[in-house]
Amino acid sequence: MALSALGALALAVMPLPTAVDAFRPDFLVLVVFYWSIESPRAGGLALAFAAGLALDVIRGVVLGEHALAVTLMAAWATHLRLRLRVFSVLSQSLTIFALLTGYQFVLFWVDGATGNPVTTFSRWLAPIIGALIWPLLAGALSRLHDR
């Protein structure tokens, strides 16, 4: 679990060409969602909070911003987890899309409230990409978990 989170953290800061950069999904958030759904007792909200804090430090934004967003959405994912597990891939992806949009919205709100808003539309692309790669990521993670 910690390994997958670290890997996702690395993916989150890995250099990409600027053209592709806006399309980078929030890997770390997706991994947190996976663990919230798969076994909420293993990491739980503490994992979500720690992951968010790591993002805050690395991105250099106000401390607690990502922590708040990830915690709230991970709690929601945990709440939905029994239903999510029996959903079809499409419904799962749609739910993940909603969660990621909520995540971006919290970030958007905190950005605005702390006085440095990011108003480009490209930030709303990340939830779409995230929802699209969710089946792949969740599949890969559950393979690794089975080992």
- Give me the residues that bind other proteins (CB under 8 A), please: 6, 9-10, 13-16, 18, 21-22, 24, 37-41, 44-46, 48-49, 52-54, 57-65, 67-68, 71-72, 75, 78-79, 82, 85-89, 92, 110, 114, 116, 118, 120, 122-123, 134-135, 138-139, 142, 145-146
Closer by beta carbon to other proteins, 9 or else 94: 9
Residues ≥6 apart with Cβ < 8 Å to 140: none
Q: What is the closest distance, in whole angstroms, from the C-beta atom of residue 95 to other proteins in the complex?
A: 12
- Which stretches within 15-124 are classed as H helix? 18-21, 27-38, 44-59, 65-86, 89-113
Asked whether the CA dihedral 94, 107, 26, 24 is positive or negative, the reply is positive
Closest separation in Å from C-beta 106 to other proteins: 10
For residues 44 and 94, which CB has a smaller minimum distance to other proteins in the complex? 44
CA distance 89 to 42: 24
**Nearest distance from C-beta of residue 137 to other proteins, angstroms:** 9
Cα separation of 32 and 76, whole Å? 12
Nearer residue to other proteins within complex by CB, 61 or 94? 61
For residues 111 and 113, give the distance between their C-alpha atoms in angstroms, rounded to a whole number: 6
